[in-house]
Amino acid sequence: GENVEQHPSTLSVQEGDSAVIKCTYSDSASNYFPWYKQELGKGPQLIIDIRSNVGEKKDQRIAVTLNKTAKHFSLHITETQPEDSAVYFCAASGGNTNAGKSTFGDGTTLTVKP
């Protein structure tokens, strides 16, 4: 089935710096790649997503890039703030091996130091 690898598992940055989280996927037919932010005691919340016909998408301080050839996508957070501290998950879906469900990466714990 689909396999999604996410790196790094933990990331610590100073407030105002940028943070980058990378994911690779195995099913070349996957066509939808959401990113979720999970705060303590809450369920994952969608922060941005990208579809396979787009290479990059930006929403204020958050951007996602997709390289279909290399089968990897990345989350970029600029001007980080303490409230960005959370666990971030990438996911892939819609491919031949996982149509109808999402396969998640193992998560990245981001800590933004004031």
Partner 1 sequence: KAGVTQTPRYLIKTRGQQVTLSCSPISGHRSVSWYQQTPGQGLQFLFEYFSETQRNKGNFPGRFSGRQFSNSRSEMNVSTLELGDSALYLCASSTGLAGVQETQYFGPGTRLLVL
What is the contact surface with partner 1 in residues (CB under 8 A)? 31-32, 34, 36, 41-46, 49, 51, 89, 93-94, 98-107
Nearer CB in complex with partner 1: 46/82: 46
Is the CB of 80 or the CB of 102 nearer to partner 1?
Answer: 102
Residue 113: CB minimum distance to partner 1, A: 23
Q: State the minimum distance, in angstroms, from the CB of residue 98 to partner 1.
A: 6
3-class SS of residue 54: coil
Q: Which residues of 7-44 are buried (b: 16+ CB within 10 A; e: fewer)?
A: eeeebebeeeeebbbbbbbbbeebbebbbbbeeeeeeb
Helices (H), strands (E): how many in the chain? 0, 11
**What minimum distance in Å lies between the beta carbon of 60 and partner 1?**
18
> Min. distance of Cβ 14 from partner 1 in angstroms?
27
Q: Which is nearer to partner 1, 47 or 80 (CB)?
A: 47
Provide CB contacts within 8 A for 60, sequence distance 6+: none
